[in-house]
Structure 1
Amino acid sequence: MRPGATDAAGRGSGGSAVPTLDVDRSDPAHRAWLNEAVRKVQADANRSADTHLLRFPLPPEWGIDLYLKDESTHPTGSLKHRLARSLFLYGLCNGWIRPEAPVVEASSGSTAVSEAYFASLIGVPFIAVMPRTTSREKCRLIEFHGARCHFVDDPRTMYAEAAALAERTGGHYMDQFTYAERATDWRGNNNIAESIYSQLRLERHPVPAWIVATAGTGGTSATIARYVRYMQHDTHVCVADPENSCFFDGWKEHDPHATSERGSRIEGIGRPRMEPSFVTGAIDRMMKVPDAASVAAVRALDRVIGRKAGGSTGTGLWSALRIVAEMANQGRPGSVVTLVCDPGERYLDKYYSDTWLAEQGLDITPYAQVIDTFLAAGRWEE
């Protein structure tokens, strides 16, 4: 070898030593900004009390308790507040979120509301890429936090448009549909599953027979199912899926490439493709719920406990009531938990509007009768 050259192992042949390669990208000002951003996001969790676990009244002789974990009481009003917090911490600690660079998200609404809140909290711009059919109230809430709504006509194009927009603006595409299941610590750390079990501790059936979730990204169902298995609880996890979503078919047929040609009418859940965060192997059961049944259930919730909630809550409640009916028919006591995902006030022009139902061709009467008959006489006659 010539003097100063190195062999394959990096050894010199004599002469001058091989210089050490050194690239230092540390920046005290950036590290100070990052530390402050993480502190602000963590402080938000520290300020927030846990969400309530509501009881849905059932005949006492059944020996069954039905609970709804009310995630609408988060500061941004939905289940997605937990996800957005986790995604921001994940993005910050990975070095993806930077000062002044926009954060871009593909979302049908609630995630965007929550991410807009956290973007405002740490002082970065936020752009939500969403279907043009997203409720006006959700758009107003996103803009309230100083963010911008970017609409697409075809929900299936949200992903590509969000990625392209992040590229054009030099920002970060948050991509909740990929990172939801990995950004949340499913072993504990005050996740939604740990909270449910803690709140049930003094109830007569502290370990639920079933937890029913709905899926948009799949992050919540993955967190709950993994926690159940990690803690070795004798609980099963059911995911309720709306019309115009591919999750049910993809799960049933073990098809990771399943798609749907139309977008879901139930905002926040149901997807046109199998999302990376939808962990099929962790789920015990799935139900395909008609959209009219989801609306009937969410209106029944308002009648029974005086709480309005979004359509995704109705999808989960319909499935939970159906499971309760099975347990009652088998004479099997226990508890069932489902979720209040977000408040109904965001959907007064949709799920609580008879005009909207007529425009969509949805008749909720048969499903409302199923619920009323069940609660009055204990018979599920679907």
Structure 2
Amino acid sequence: MSGPVYQYRFMIGFVSTTEPAPDATPVPTADVDRSDPEYRAWLKEAVRKVRAESGRSADTHLLAFPLPEHWGIDLYLKDESTHPTGSLKHRLARSLFLYGLCNGWIRPGRPVIEASSGSTAVSEAYFAKLIGVPFIAVMPRTTSTEKTRLIEFHGGRCHLVDDPRTVYEVSAALAAETGGHFLDQFTYAERATDWRGNNNIAESTFHQLRAERFPEPAWIVATAGTGGTSATFARYVHYMQYDTRVCVPDPENSCFFDGWTRGDPDATSDAASRIEGIGRPRMEPSFVPAAVDRMMKVPDAASVAAVRALEAAMGRKAGGSTGTGLWSALRIVAEMRAEGRTGSVVTLLCDPGDRYLDKYYSDGWLAAQGLDIAPYTRTLDRFLATGEWRE
């Protein structure tokens, strides 16, 4: 069995491109007079509705993964599947809509457009419907049918493309044709979220840990699609002066690991990620490599084995990105145990598995993809039973 690759690296001199290309920056158009009382009233009401939605949403649970207490290591999953739209991307969509509204980019009656692999678009369709604007999701044709159904359920329209690498250009073109706004999560995710606090995912996690036996985790494991979540965690940790480290696992067919390891902001991948929601063909502007401490390259079969192990251990189905993070988190637990260290580790339950019954929970899909999860399942079963990690 070929195991995952692990790397630590200080990214001195490697600065992520965090400003969009000039032609990617939304340009205010002359069709809306921003001093017009009617527009100002619409804007105030739209912002009120989005902020009120946040006030109605309780925080997400921090679930304890069952490990032997005598190991002296606690593992938690921040369950983002309990958001109204069922995923971690609900937080991002709310931030992106507030960012677009307050910048004057989202306008009454004009469509909002997004390039997405599905979950972000589900959440954005929800917020578009909330403020009464049209929504178009530009997605790979391989996106799960359940995500497509959910986008349409919330009133959105799906625009499917054959080549995942074209989602950016197609989204920008649709925005230009319709006079709408391209939200561009892959550029704006890391800046639309207030990483210093304001109940972001990092502040919430540390608040929930405050009464645990290890309130300051040794590691936080956050997978990357846009890179916004890992950036929020890493920045918050540095801002609060914690000793916590941040690890970003990367699936197959993604360039983040190679770009981070080589210090190459121009790294690319020719194939599309099979783990929906994470892994990208280019180094996204919202991925901030210099902020994180470690990356892991995780085989897709290991990710699937991990989500099935999660169901066996906790009775919860989750998406493949959760499996990528859980595999890495358990590997870190094994390292800590082998080194005689105690502490806590946090990873994310990103979205529910019922969106992927025809993929990660389908043996037929695994066979069609040439994925053999048996060796990784044995590794996980052995570790959870004996504390011994062998690949």
The residue type paired with residue 178 of structure 1 is: T
Are the structure 2 counterparts of residues 25 and 316 from structure 1 closer, same or farther at C-alpha, using a change threshold of 3 Å? closer
Aligned partner (choices 357, 378, 384) of residue 375 of structure 1: 384
What is the alpha-carbon distance in structure 1 between the residues aligned to residue 207 and residue 84 of structure 2? 21
- Are positions 1:206 and 2:241 aligned together? no
**Secondary structure of 2:49 counterpart:** helix
Aligned partner (choices 325, 329, 346) of residue 320 of structure 1: 329
CA shift digits 1:60-102 (9 cap, x unpaired):
1110000000000000000000000000000000000000000
- Are positions 1:57 and 2:50 aligned together? no
**Secondary structure of 2:321 counterpart:** helix
**Secondary structure of 2:247 counterpart:** strand
The residue type paired with residue 216 of structure 2 is: V
- Are positions 1:169 and 2:175 aligned together? no
- 2:11 corresponding residue in structure 1: none
Are the structure 2 counterparts of residues 58 and 41 from structure 1 closer, same or farther at C-alpha, using a change threshold of 3 Å? same
Are the structure 2 counterparts of residues 25 and 300 from structure 1 closer, same or farther at C-alpha, using a change threshold of 3 Å? closer
- 2:285 corresponding residue in structure 1: 276
**Secondary structure of 1:38 counterpart:** helix
What is the alpha-carbon distance in structure 1 between the residues aligned to residue 388 and residue 229 of structure 2? 31
- Are positions 1:344 and 2:353 aligned together? yes
Q: How does 1:37-186 map to 2 (within 5 A)?
A: 37-186=46-195
**Secondary structure of 1:214 counterpart:** coil
- Structure whose alpha-carbon radius of gyration is higher: 1
- 2:205 corresponding residue in structure 1: 196
Q: Offset at 1:59?
A: 1.2
The residue type paired with residue 130 of structure 1 is: M
* TM-score relative to the length of structure 1: 0.94
- 5+ residue gaps, structure 2: 1-32
The residue type paired with residue 360 of structure 2 is: Y
2:34/2:40 contact within 8 Å kept: no
**Secondary structure of 2:222 counterpart:** strand
- Are positions 1:238 and 2:247 aligned together? yes
Q: Offset at 1:25?
A: 4.6
2:112/2:135 contact within 8 Å kept: yes
Q: How does 1:226-265 map to 2 (within 5 A)?
A: 226-265=235-274
What is the alpha-carbon distance in structure 1 between the residues aligned to residue 306 and residue 216 of structure 2? 25
What is the alpha-carbon distance in structure 2 between the residues aligned to residue 215 and residue 303 of structure 1? 25
- Are positions 1:36 and 2:14 aligned together? no
**Which structure carries more relative contact order (alpha carbon 8 Å, separation 6+)?**
2
Q: Offset at 1:319?
A: 0.2
**Secondary structure of 2:318 counterpart:** coil
Report how many aligned residue pairs link the two structures. 359
Shift >6 Å, 4+ stretches: none
The residue type paired with residue 194 of structure 1 is: E
Identity of aligned residues (%): 81
**Secondary structure of 1:149 counterpart:** strand
- 1:27 corresponding residue in structure 2: 36
- 2:18 corresponding residue in structure 1: none
